[in-house]
Amino acid sequence: MTAQDALGFAATSQALAALAIGFTAPSSLSRPAVATFVLALTWLFHQAIQDALESRLHMALLSTGMWIQCVKSFDDLCLTGLSFSQETAGQAVHRRSTTQTPAKGPAGVKKASCVQLQESQSSEITRRLFFGLGSLWNMRGIGTNAEIKQVPPWSKQDPSFVPSRSQELKRHLKNVALSYLVLDVFANQPPPDLENMMSPRNERLFSRLADIGSEEAIFRFFATFGFWLNTFCVIQLINSTIALLCLQH
């Protein structure tokens, strides 16, 4: 399979999940079916990207990112049950409660007029599509009924602090550069000694503690540490890349 096939699998899986989140109710039986299709498409993407790319780093990044999105899609579709109707109903109640008293000053009038203008210009179909896509990339559910508890503030010293756009751009650019650098270093390391360090006889740990030498102990430590460091860098790279794209608009 080619890179075009992998791109098609990825786009189809994300489109199906976004449509299901935006246009179906949480109790709809189509949601588990869509989640199953997303799982199958993610597996096909993994196979296609292995055939299409020679770089282990790029293959690992793309494959891991798609599996993360697969899990996120399953969570939104079947576990959390995000719904456009429920979210917009909650926002409508909030708007009614806030508009019972007239806004004071030109800033309040300007804000209310901007909200009305945006709502009049965007159709419900477009808003449903954007809600579905946004939910797939909103890992913490910020601004939704499924927002996770204890979202950390931007600054522990000043909980009310909100960074500027330029500060966020710099932070995410730094995250992208450092994450990619770390992943590139790992990807260019020589392959491990599969016959000695990763042979079937080394699978057990506690039953053969007396036989483990210093070389194997060091290898086990760095293999475990490297796995979690790679996972952290992949997630940070994906999130910061998406954040940079969003900050451009």
Query: Would you state the pLDDT for residue 41?
Result: 92
Could you give the dihedral angle defined by the CA atoms of residues 202, 63, 56 and 44, in that order, rounded to the nearest 10 degrees?
Answer: 90
Q: CA-CA distance, 244 to 156, in Å (whole number)?
A: 24
What 8-state DSSP symbol labels residue 194? T
Judge whether 35 and 13 are in contact, CB under 8 Å: no
Which pLDDT belongs to residue 207? 65
- pLDDT value of position 95: 45
Q: How far apart are CA 22 and CA 33, in angstroms?
A: 15
Q: Distance of alpha carbon 159 from its chain centroid, rounded?
A: 25
Under-50 pLDDT residues of the chain: 92-105, 107, 109-112, 114, 117
* pLDDT tens string 146-203: 777 777 777 778 878 888 888 888 888 999 999 889 888 877 777 766 666 666 666 6
Spatial contact of 53 and 114, defined as CB atoms under 8 Å apart: no
